[in-house]
Amino acid sequence: MKPRRPLKILFYLNLLIMLGLLGYKAYLNYFLPDFAAEHQVQLDQLEARLGENPQAFSFALVGNINNSIGIFEKQLIPHINASDADFMISAGNAVSGGGEDKYQSLYGSLQQLNIPYLLTFGEQEQENFGSYRFYEHFGPHYFSFLLGDYRFTFLDTTGKTPWQWQLRWLQDLLKEQEAKEHFLFTGRPLFAEDEGLLAEAPNLLEPAPFRLNLLDILDENDIHWVFSAQKRGFHQQQLDSTLFLATGGAGGVLLEDDYYHYWLVHVSPEGVSLEQKKLATGQHPFFRTLESLWSFIYSLFYVSYLNFILLVCLFSLLAIKLHALIFKDRNYYPNYDLDPTPWINQPLRIAMFTNNYLPFIGGVPLSIQRLQQGLSKLGNKLLIVAPRYPNQPHGETQVVRVPSLFTLGAKSEFRLANIFSLRVFKRVRAFVPDLIHVHHPFWLGSLGVFIARRLRVPAVYTYHTRLEHYAHFVPLPGLLFRNLISHVLVRRFANRCDAVIVPTYSTEEYLRMIGVKRPTYVQPTGIDFERFQTVDQDAVEKLRQRLQLGQEKILISVARLSNEKNIDFMIDALAELKKKTTQPFRLLMLGDGHQRKRLQKRLDELQLNDCITLVGAVPPDEMPLWYHLGDLFVFASKSETQGMVILEAMAAGLPVVAVRSSGIDDVVQDDHNGYKTPERLDLWLARVQTLLEDQDKHQELAEKALKTASQHSVEVFSKKVKAIYSEVLAAKQSRQ
């Protein structure tokens, strides 16, 4: 139990954090006051504090607050409250950014002041659409007011308001009423530190005509005091009778020689004086980092609802994961106490979901049909949910056909059925399945797992297809799909099911490598072995005559004419073999697909029509006739999980030459029932040539191929799958 204790503590800590965050979110939204037109409120308070015609007063001037809590809120505000300042003015950059969270944080800090305050609209107040928020919370970006005989004017130097208009407004304002003193706040400074008027600096008032025209107005109207914000420290410069003071250090980051401070501006009938107030200490970098982190957290929770929801979801997922790790007992060994006998000895009701089915010809549809027939003979009831096809059989009682939303592929090989149809759910629920068997890890397969969860019955998944070899059908970068998405899709889907059936041990190893943790059963797909032993030889001979076959050796291959089946490899190999052997041969390529026209064009260009024929699709009932035409079965696909057509060929007594892949390795035993080679053209065609020219070797491998196929009958296959169903149902009952 000791190893689990840290996880348990972490789990409950996570729950406490979630509850704390939710409580804090409620506090921020329901207990913090909203605010608007704050400048008007502050001016009313200022007039009430000083009267209508004050003769003497003081105000504190700060620059670059930058949402600082450690310096501005915790150190500067107590100093200002203890001073004789009657109000405070920010020269600009009071926030670190224009987001709503930053304005809310600033407002919270300003509430610690015991005196009124006013803000200059600075460049950081404008960021991230902050101009709208400043206007809503405080007021216009440029404004002016009289305090007795003293005028205070605030300009917008961010570029948000046209400077020409502001200067016209300022000139008209100065004509209306003379003031004893005029204090102008420009946000950005007119002078760079130790530079001249026209010097360029990152924080300088721009453009240059704005500065020059503003200077003329200052000179013409005897404005003696111009205040602005400086990125750091402070800088002052006298030009004629005007003092330009750019101040900072009210919370923003400082350089080594600077210090945190604010200015006290004393106004009286005798004149105006400035007094700088320094802080005794600065802020340690560690606490500055904590302050930045706090500002980030505040930002997340006050207005960024999406971020808040995502964060809560993240903690929730972490809590669920930790709960599963801590409180759920895990036993990675099979439960040998399970008794599947009750389910083996009684009929089961099985609903199957597949993305393709007959009349579409392919390995998966044929496998499902054979399993359906075998299970039905054992007394079980089946319902198959599959896409609708134009030429599907009529009167199907065991198949629910789902209309397609659209199709993919030139021959409409893949149909995306309407998984949102309520009719499917109602039909399956009315069927009352004991178990749902899905054959694809997406679309109708996903619908099958969803319905299984709703009906509280087990879901079993058969892994038929190596999805990474179908990247050409997916509108995503091929490497992305092959190397990542396909494996993630299979792993995630398989782990949502109660059990997984795979046709070969190499396939089971692949699933374990990608992280599938569900119980896995190795069960090769069955074939109708007897049907291949009772072929009408007269029908075979008639087919031979119809195809005008002579004494040449017949090679058979069965595959969809698609990229993943590697047909081009066989064409190239046989084109080379034609030059090397004196034994006449002809390949009958059974199957259809979107690559047919391109492949036929290649055969025409290579002049191989005399030895390679693209037969097209062949009805399943006629397949034994075509296999019995052949002398040898050839195969190059690397996308198979088993290669059921290889077993069918062996059932017809054909040895096999195939390219090695995960689905081939467990079926083809090299130099026993055929040959398997790497994807090397010279090795593959050499094995084909051997079996074309060496009759004794051909006969030896053919006999062993027939024996291999006899061990994979549909009857045996169906009984073993029924046993798997029974174990899954027994495991489900044991967990309830």
Structure token digits, residue 324 = 């599963």
Helix (H) and strand (E) counts in the chain: 26, 26
Domains of the chain: 32-283 (3.60.21.10), 346-522 (3.40.50.2000), 533-712 (3.40.50.2000)
**In whole angstroms, what is the distance from residue 727 CA to residue 501 CA?**
12
**In whole angstroms, what is the distance from residue 614 CA to residue 196 CA?**
86
User: Looking at residue 30, what is its pLDDT?
Assistant: 66
Lowest mean pLDDT across 234-238, 423-427, 430-434: 234-238
User: Looking at residue 479, what is its pLDDT?
Assistant: 56
pLDDT digits (tens, 9 = 90+) for 4-51: 566 667 667 777 777 777 776 666 666 767 789 999 999 999 999 998
Q: Where are the beta strands (DSSP E) in 210-338?
A: 225-229, 234-239, 242-247, 261-268, 271-278
User: Looking at residue 199, what is its pLDDT?
Assistant: 41
Radius of gyration of the chain (CA): 41
Lowest mean pLDDT across 270-279, 351-360, 638-647: 638-647
Q: Please give the average per-residue pLDDT across 367-376, as a whole number.
A: 92
Indicate if the pLDDT at residue 168 is higher than 90.
Answer: yes
The residue type found at 50 is L
SS3 of 453-505: HHHCCCEEEECCECHHHHHHHCCCCHHHHHHHHHHHHHHHHHHHCCEEEECCH
Q: What is the DSSP string of 673-702?
A: TEEEE-S-HHHHHHHHHHHHH-HHHHHHHH
Indicate if the pLDDT at residue 699 is higher than 90.
Answer: yes
User: Looking at residue 302, what is its pLDDT?
Assistant: 47
User: Looking at residue 116, what is its pLDDT?
Assistant: 97
Indicate if the pLDDT at residue 469 is higher than 90.
Answer: no
Q: 42 CB contacts (<8 Å, ≥6 apart)?
A: 87, 116, 117, 118
The DSSP code for 592 is: -
Q: Please give the average per-residue pLDDT across 543-568, as a whole number.
A: 92
Q: Helices 714-735 and 363-377 sit at what angle, rounded to 10 degrees? A: 80
Confidence of residue 471 (pLDDT cuts 50, 70, 90): very low
Residue 730 near residue 339 (C-beta atoms within 8 A): yes
Structure token digits, residue 452 = 């299984």
**In whole angstroms, what is the distance from residue 185 CA to residue 156 CA?**
9
Comparing 12 with 684, which gets the higher pLDDT?
684
Comparing 611 with 193, which gets the higher pLDDT?
611
What's the chain's average pLDDT?
86
Confidence of residue 331 (pLDDT cuts 50, 70, 90): low
**In whole angstroms, what is the distance from residue 149 CA to residue 184 CA?**
14
Looking at 191-263, list the stretches that DSSP marks H as alpha helix, in order from N- to C-terminal side: 208-220
Q: State phi, psi for 262 to the nearest 5 degrees.
A: -145, 170
Name the residue among 433, 518, 515, 503 with its Cα closest to residue 466.
Answer: 503
**In whole angstroms, what is the distance from residue 264 CA to residue 275 CA?**
5
pLDDT digits (tens, 9 = 90+) for 478-495: 555 455 577 888 999 999
pTM of the model: 0.54
Indicate if the pLDDT at residue 200 is higher than 80.
Answer: no
